[in-house]
Structure 1
Amino acid sequence: MSNQYPIGTPGTPWCNEEKQVWYQQQQIQRSYHTNVEFKVKSLSDICTIEEYGVLAYKAGKYSLFALKNKNYNPEHATILITGGVHGYETSGVLGALAFAERYIEQFIDRYNFLILPCISPWGFETINRWNPDAIDPNRSFYANSPAAESRLAMEYVDAYSGNIIAHIDLHETTDTDNSEFRPALAAREGKVNHNWNIPDGFYLVGHTQKPEPEFQKVIIEEVQKVTHIADADENGQLIGVKLEQFGVINYDGTKLGLCMGMTNAPFVTTTEVYPDSANTTPDECIDGQVASILGVLSFLSSQN
């Protein structure tokens, strides 16, 4: 158990007062406009860019963008790529954009791509897991979601849902998961915090309702070409969950309201990069995210 979180009373869930105290402590640390929106718009020559919503918060308004391959072909299966559901997880955002820039044109003869690179722009700017209402968007992908980030993404993607064959959601596991975000979650819920071991390396979270182990295996093999895969801890686990195969654990994405559970796609996974590792670099983390998407494509190509 970690030390007491500085907001709230132990054992008592937060009310609006505590959430406001938490919100007042958050600070803008980087620019969504400069680091994300500018890069999105720079891809207009190779992608169709659509604004699928606007978030209006006290800190300002944030336009939400999706990228599609040009000449989107309704006869082709669609691959959904999401990043920045947790805004602080930088390589997910930049990895989604890097894939579009480097590779999307190589595959549009066979697939459509739908890319939502930064679902939580305020979280990106404040390097935060939650939105300004102290809600975790990645536990909020369900009907009548209280998180506008999740709700707007679902509404946009729903128009394409019947044609989505695969969905890869790009995430990170960081040291701040234990130092800040898990303690904050326990305080908000009025529960005792129990930290997990932070895995050193890349791993995947599959969906327990459709685990697809061969799909996960191909992605891991592709990522291994550019960065290291996390080993299980002494209990045979990653983040407190039993290992299914090398580098893979499973969650019930639908039950938990995770982004990877928002469609009926048969092949889904969440990536987890560890950017705080002494054995990696920011560029390598981005490359790992890109490699995971290439792994999706490698697997799908092998099925045809």
Structure 2
Amino acid sequence: MNQLSTYPIGTSGKPWGAAEVAQWRAQQQPSRHYQEDVVSVIESLQTDWDVTTYGEIQYGDDYFTLYALQSKDWDPDLPCALITGGVHGYETSGVLGALRFLTHDANAYTGRMNLLVIPCVSPWAYERIQRWNYDAVDPNRSFIESSPAQEAAALIHFLKPLKTQFIVHIDLHETTDTDESEFAPAKAARDGVVFEPCPIPDGFYLVANAAKPVPDFQAAIIAAVQHVTYIAVADENGCLDGTPMAARGVLNSSVQGVCADVTNAAYTTTTEVYPDSPMTTPEQCIKAQTVAVCAGLDFVLSR
């Protein structure tokens, strides 16, 4: 049943102003460390990868350097792939999956494909296990011109001279129970709208661009990931996350401003792992992300 949000910040039916954003921000305290968890791994890879700093985010007294890892000896004659993680900082396996791919799987593509990996797009949110950034803005709706999110704007600027080179882009995400218990009510409160509950898909699924879904590409990833974790099935209305299921474990989305659409790549997808299930583990979630990346890259290389 639809209801006005009872989120503890703001007034039901009234969008947040600066005071409400400041109240929300004050509640977001760091509980893990970008430098220790992410940057230390990136620094250990400098021998094998060209590590680039493509921007710096400043939020209050906090500064975060943004990192990209690029194949050494980038060959303009090879196809190019982009892998991104941590657009939503709380989606842990996206960040750890990108790092795991770099450390365990990427060497298999040397001399076959140019790789550009952004392990953690949103470090402020990563540290706070949060979906939004410091300004209560969702980065994964902000990959647009004049972006309101520093994280998205920095990545757009960095990729601009490269965006036509990519043939494939895989963006690593999770769908968690807190999407419905915390983040959806917070969004309704922030926007001053009615909170509309939506069932959380139980299992792994993919989000394709409705304008260019590439069903065979999505199916190849689903076929590979099913050996690691289970695939989500449609709810009683035939939907995944409120959208009609287009194929097994796949929904086609028309949502604008998402990271998966930041380039002109022909093959794009957003992964969605479900880490809150008692039938999976954190390790399986990370593995599902790396298997999804490898299956997507292998599919493109086989065309």
Q: Report the TM-score, using the length of structure 2 for normalisation.
A: 0.97
Give how far 1:301 is off.
2.3
SS at match of 1:103: helix
Query: 2:277: which partner in 1?
Result: 277
Query: 1:123: which partner in 2?
Result: 125
SS at match of 2:223: helix
List gaps (5 residues or longer) in structure 1. none
- Root mean square deviation of aligned Cα: 1.0
SS at match of 2:103: helix
Match of 2:35 among 33, 36, 44: 33
CA distance in 2, matches of 1:145, 1:139: 9
Cα shift readout 1:169-214 (whole Å, capped 9, x = no counterpart): 0000000001100000000000011121111110000001101001
SS at match of 2:248: coil
Q: Percent identity?
A: 49
Match of 1:90 among 89, 92, 96: 92
Aligned residue runs from structure 1 range 186-201, under 5 A: 186-201=188-203
CA distance in 2, matches of 1:195, 1:81: 31
SS at match of 2:195: coil
CA distance in 1, matches of 2:41, 2:279: 28
SS at match of 1:37: helix
Query: 1:166: which partner in 2?
Result: 168
Cα shift readout 1:254-287 (whole Å, capped 9, x = no counterpart): xx21001111111100000001010111011000
Compared CA separation, residues 229 and 59, structure 1 to 2 (3 A): farther
Aligned residue runs from structure 1 range 43-122, under 5 A: 43-122=45-124
Query: 1:8: which partner in 2?
Result: 10
Query: 1:152: which partner in 2?
Result: 154
Query: 1:288: which partner in 2?
Result: 288
Query: 2:141: which partner in 1?
Result: 139
Counterpart residue type for residue 78 of structure 1:
C
Query: 2:233: which partner in 1?
Result: 231
Give how far 1:59 is off.
4.5
Counterpart residue type for residue 12 of structure 1:
K
Give how far 1:250 is off.
1.0
Number of residues paired by the alignment? Answer: 301
SS at match of 2:293: helix
Query: 1:302: which partner in 2?
Result: 302
CA distance in 1, matches of 2:67, 2:122: 11
Give how far 1:302 is off.
2.1
SS at match of 1:161: coil
CA distance in 1, matches of 2:80, 2:236: 39
CA distance in 1, matches of 2:245, 2:6: 30
List gaps (5 residues or longer) in structure 2. none
CA distance in 2, matches of 1:242, 1:65: 36
Counterpart residue type for residue 152 of structure 1:
A
Q: Which moved more, 1:68-77 or 1:79-88?
A: 68-77
CA distance in 2, matches of 1:10, 1:39: 44
CA distance in 2, matches of 1:58, 1:297: 39
State whether residues 69 and 105 of structure 1, in contact with CA within 8 Å, keep that contact through their aligned partners in structure 2. no
Counterpart residue type for residue 53 of structure 1:
G
Query: 2:183: which partner in 1?
Result: 181
State whether residues 66 and 115 of structure 1, in contact with CA within 8 Å, keep that contact through their aligned partners in structure 2. yes
State whether residues 163 and 262 of structure 2, in contact with CA within 8 Å, keep that contact through their aligned partners in structure 1. no
State whether residues 207 and 252 of structure 1, in contact with CA within 8 Å, keep that contact through their aligned partners in structure 2. yes
Instruction: Tell me, yes or no, if structure 1 residue 17 matches structure 2 residue 48.
Output: no
State whether residues 69 and 104 of structure 1, in contact with CA within 8 Å, keep that contact through their aligned partners in structure 2. no
Counterpart residue type for residue 21 of structure 2:
K
Cα shift readout 1:97-148 (whole Å, capped 9, x = no counterpart): 1111112111121110011110000000000000000000000000010101
State whether residues 218 and 298 of structure 1, in contact with CA within 8 Å, keep that contact through their aligned partners in structure 2. no
Q: Point out 4+ residue stretches in structure 1 off by more than 4 angstroms.
A: none
Query: 2:267: which partner in 1?
Result: 267
Q: Which moved more, 1:2-11 or 1:120-129?
A: 2-11
Counterpart residue type for residue 258 of structure 2:
L
SS at match of 1:200: coil
State whether residues 168 and 297 of structure 2, in contact with CA within 8 Å, keep that contact through their aligned partners in structure 1. no
Give how far 1:45 is off.
2.0
